[in-house]
């Protein structure tokens, strides 16, 4: 059995500073010589990129529905063999979602650290924290107070906790992690990201004694499922990867490799053509709307996509990938940018969220799970070949379009949820 100190970092709601605290704590522990692995609860691409920058290892997703109980257990067991500390950043508020971060913590017996935004409260912090602990209940190891104004402010918070340890405090930050409409800015776009992370680690006042009193969690080793090995053996999958196509679960790459595929990367933003050895193409989501001018002028890339499509090579385009293959993208200023045009229709950016939540696609090879999160809409006369189903309501979800060998949707698939469907998709394209 492998063991490590494991803690889930959650809060009463979004916006309390969970990612900031998780990043500061991870960086601080790494600088102390600890081997740290970080996970993210629930569907997310941006927070994991920042947290990977902190700890140097891919940040995998833990979600009892999308990832599944057994795969979550396998990921934690593997991490415990190589880490001294495992930090799990929660999603939204502690009890939000079905399943919630609290459900995940209870399932694996993981204690919690509650992050509170103390900028506009003092003793009331104790009431908030006691409510978080007792509502579930959950095993609350302690609290980290964010945006604390002074030593006296921290003392008032600590005195209000009624026996719950104040693990640490973080002052109001002059420099914070920059955000845009889908969340945090990509870390590679922020020149000062490492100095910001180092500063957060230095500012985090951590009670070393409280931290060391936490007991480690043990995880029994689990063998990976080899039933689908070699289903993509000999296949080369070309994956778009740059600032416009950055939303890619690390587990999706692991799944493709476990299926026997070889992966190669190319950059549409750099006007790189699809590699000639590609047996299939994968365009993940990202921020094509922020790079619409560059993509509109990427003639070499667009021509290579038309060539691939004409040769009936399977193409999977998710969210931002689909947007870049539509006829055009109209930004929030009303400017229309021509795109590759493999999928009929125009993408219209909007300032309001268009979709958010978990979805499932019932394929002929099984249920492929994932999520949707986008601020645009596709106006198209194309008839969807299928629709996802929203979880847990069962309502009709995202359209899935097929034209020739192209499969396109706003749906982000989590490949390990159904490797058989993924293998079939990259082998046969639209012939799902």
- Cα 239 to Cα 274: distance, rounded to the nearest angstrom: 9
How is residue 22 written in tokens?
Answer: 């998780």
- Cα 293 to Cα 308: distance, rounded to the nearest angstrom: 23
Closest to 256 in 3D by CA, of 285, 280, 287 = 280
4 strand-pairing partners:
217
- Following DSSP, what letter does each residue of 50-83 receive, concatenated? HHHHHHSS--EEE-TTTT-HHHHHHHHHHHHTT-
Half-sphere exposure of 317 toward its Cβ, with a 13 Å CA cutoff?
27
Q: Contact, 238 vs 274, CB < 8 A? A: yes
- Cα 300 to Cα 95: distance, rounded to the nearest angstrom: 48
Q: What are the residue numbers of the active site?
A: 319
- Cα 339 to Cα 296: distance, rounded to the nearest angstrom: 5
- Cα 145 to Cα 156: distance, rounded to the nearest angstrom: 11
Q: Contact, 293 vs 337, CB < 8 A? A: yes
Q: Contact, 170 vs 144, CB < 8 A? A: yes
* DSSP structural state of residue 427: H
CA distances from 88 to 45, 102, 151 (A): 15, 12, 28
């Amino acid at each position: 059995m492998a063991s490590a100190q494991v803690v889930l970092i959650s809060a009463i709601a979004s916006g309390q500073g969970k990612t900031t605290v998780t990043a500061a704590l991870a960086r601080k522990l790494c600088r102390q010589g600890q081997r740290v692995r970080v996970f993210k609860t629930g569907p997310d691409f941006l927070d994991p990129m920042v947290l990977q920058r902190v700890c140097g290892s891919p940040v995998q997703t833990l979600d009892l529905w999308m990832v599944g109980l057994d795969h979550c257990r396998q990921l934690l067991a593997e991490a415990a063999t190589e880490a001294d500390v495992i930090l799990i950043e929660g999603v939204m508020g502690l009890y939000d979602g079905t399943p919630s971060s609290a459900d995940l913590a209870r399932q694996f017996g993981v204690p919690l650290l509650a992050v509170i935004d103390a900028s506009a409260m003092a003793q009331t912090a104790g009431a908030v924290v006691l409510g978080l602990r007792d509502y579930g209940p959950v095993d609350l190891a302690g609290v980290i107070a964010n945006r604390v104004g002074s030593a006296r402010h921290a003392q008032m918070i600590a005195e209000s906790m009624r026996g719950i340890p104040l693990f640490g405090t973080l002052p109001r930050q002059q420099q914070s992690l920059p955000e845009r409409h889908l969340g945090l800015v990509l870390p590679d776009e922020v020149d000062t990201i490492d100095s910001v992370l180092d500063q957060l680690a230095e500012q985090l006042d951590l009670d070393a004694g409280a931290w060391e009193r936490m007991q480690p969690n043990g995880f029994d080793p689990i063998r990976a499922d080899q039933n689908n090995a070699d289903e993509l053996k000999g296949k080369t999958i070309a994956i778009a990867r740059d600032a416009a196509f950055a939303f890619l679960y690390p587990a999706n790459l692991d799944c493709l490799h476990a299926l026997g595929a070889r992966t190669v990367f190319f950059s549409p933003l750099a006007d790189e053509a699809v590699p000639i050895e590609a047996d299939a193409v994968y365009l993940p989501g990202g921020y094509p709307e922020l790079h619409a001018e560059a993509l509109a002028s990427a003639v070499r890339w667009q021509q290579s996509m038309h060539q691939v499509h004409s040769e009936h090579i399977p193409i999977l385009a998710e969210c931002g990938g689909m947007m870049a293959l539509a006829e055009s993208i109209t930004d929030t200023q009303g400017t229309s940018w021509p795109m590759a045009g493999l999928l009929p229709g125009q993408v219209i950016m909007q300032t309001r969220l268009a979709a958010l939540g978990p979805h499932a696609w019932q394929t002929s090879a099984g249920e492929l799970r994932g999520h949707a999160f986008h601020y645009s809409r596709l106006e198209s006369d194309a008839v969807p070949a299928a629709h996802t189903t929203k979880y847990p309501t069962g309502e009709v979800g995202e359209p899935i379009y097929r034209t020739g060998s192209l499969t396109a949707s706003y749906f982000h698939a989590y490949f390990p949820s159904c490797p058989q469907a993924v293998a079939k998709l990259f082998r046969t394209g639209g012939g799902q």
